Amino acid sequence: MIVVLGAFDGFHRGHALLFERARKLALLHSAANASEDWTVVTFSPHPDSVVLGDSVRSLFSEEERDILARFLNVPDVLKIPFDDALALMSPDEFITLLESLLPVTGIVVGDDFRFGRNREGDAAFLRETARRKGWFFEIVDSLVVNGAKVGSSSIKKLVSAGDVVGAKTLLGYPFFFRGRVVPGDGRGRTLGFPTANIRYPEKKIIPERGVYAASVLIGSEWRRGALNIGYNPTFLEPSGTPRFETYVLDMQESLYGKTLTVFLESYLRPEMKFDTTGGLLRRMEQDVQEVRSWFERTRALSADVYRLLSKAFSGFERVPT
């Protein structure tokens, strides 16, 4: 079993290179000797949330990460429970644990991977361990795009700043969130723009407040949407966690109780407070027209990535509660 080892706060284009290398190694070994397989080994929860505390926000939830594994054709994901005891393990102790869980024949890691107590385990340690045990061992260099290394930290910064186009470049797909539609104030329906108030995953990175063009996956159907992230300051005093309200274009049926996946495509404008309801309504009409124009101009939903995302989400059993 060839193991791709990493913390993996979601999966991006750099991680896809690791998976492709493991897939090729497994095929090569299978052709030369016997059947070989590969898998991803990661941790749950993410180590940073244990070591650094609850203030750490993830790029994707556990459910979202599992769906992305399907999207990237990962055959299996083993999640090792991460707690204080695991954090204090030496690199040798962790390797012993790994061998007790899987019949390891090889390891693939990124060039910046560290593990074990005080991050003492590195590529040099793994290379020597693999040599002693007769394992395959591969280090995959970090992917560099526009002069910068692709990593979860850089993607989170882009999302937090509202640069979802930049985030998509590094991820290989649009940044998204998945949640159940819960009752809201009903104000959007009164204004003629019924919105789906979607429960946002806990401890997930929150994008810049404002209005976005969004693609919305409802079951197996793609729809165009206008997403507003914010506090609705025209009517309410800002407090707590912002709301994630999506107006699905050309849809009148109720979405209450359904699970929607919303992909952030383009940042349109910041959150604004209007002096009158009429001013807000006129701006909402303009936002919807800008969303229509964006989709007509880009033809985004015809791209192959959306077909592959639909396949990954199809039949996924677990849904957010």
Residues 188 and 117 occupy one common structural domain:
no
Domain encompassing residue 192: 174-313
- The pLDDT score that the predictor gives to residue 186 is 66
Q: Is 160 inside any structural domain?
A: no
Q: Which two tokens stand for residue 191?
A: 């204004």
- The overall average pLDDT reported for the chain is 91
| Assigned domain for 188 exists | yes
84: Cα separation from own chain's centroid? 25
Query: How far apart, in whole angstroms, are the C-alpha atoms of residue 312 and residue 235?
Result: 39
Together in a domain, 120 and 253: no
Residue 153 lies in a domain: no
Q: What pLDDT does 319 receive? A: 43
| Residue 303 in domain | yes
- Residue 191 included in any domain: yes
- Residue 158 within a domain: no
pLDDT band at residue 34 using 50, 70 and 90 as cut-offs? low
Within 10 angstroms of residue 298's Cβ, the number of other Cβ atoms is: 13
How far apart CA 305 and CA 223 sit, in angstroms, is: 15
Query: Does the residue 154 lie in any domain?
Result: no
Half-sphere exposure of 80 (CA within 13 A, CB side): 25
Tell me the whole-structure pTM to 2 decimals.
Answer: 0.92
CB atoms within 10 A of CB 37: 16
Residues 177, 223 contacting (CB under 8 angstroms): no
Residues 89 and 196 in one domain: no
Exposure string of 130-142, with b = 16+ CB inside 10 Å and e = fewer, is beeeebbbbbbee
Question: pLDDT tens, 196-239?
Answer: 999 999 999 999 999 999 999 999 999 999 999 999 777 776 66
Q: Are 44 and 62 in contact (CB under 8 A)?
A: yes
Q: How confident is the model at residue 92 (pLDDT cuts 50, 70, 90)?
A: very high
CATH number where 222 lies: 2.40.30.30
Question: Whole-angstrom Cα distance, residue 164 to residue 212?
Answer: 9
Q: How many angstroms separate the CA atoms of 226 and 173, rounded? A: 18
DSSP per position, 55-70: T--BSS-HHHHHHHHH
d(CA 207, CA 218): 21
- Residues 120, 180, single domain; the answer is no
* 189 and 91, same domain (yes or no): no
181 and 305, same structural domain?
A: yes
User: Residue 118 sits in a domain of what CATH number?
Assistant: 3.40.50.620
In which band, very low, low, confident or very high, does the pLDDT at 320 lie, cut at 50, 70 and 90?
very low
Is residue 173 within 8 Å of 305, Cβ to Cβ? Answer: yes
The gap between the terminal CA atoms of the chain, to the nearest Å, is 34
- What is residue 197's three-state secondary structure? strand
Tell me how crowded residue 302 is: count the other CB atoms within 10 A of its CB. 10
Q: Kindly state the DSSP code that residue 73 receives in the 8-state scheme.
A: T
| pLDDT confidence bin for 31, thresholds 50/70/90 | low
The gap from C-alpha 310 to its chain's centroid, in whole angstroms, comes to 15
Q: How many domains does the chain have?
A: 2
> CB 50: neighbour CB atoms within 10 A?
17
Q: Is the pLDDT of residue 191 over 80?
A: no
For residue range 60-74, list pLDDT tens digits in order: 999 999 999 999 999
- The answer to whether residue 185 scores a pLDDT higher than 80 is no
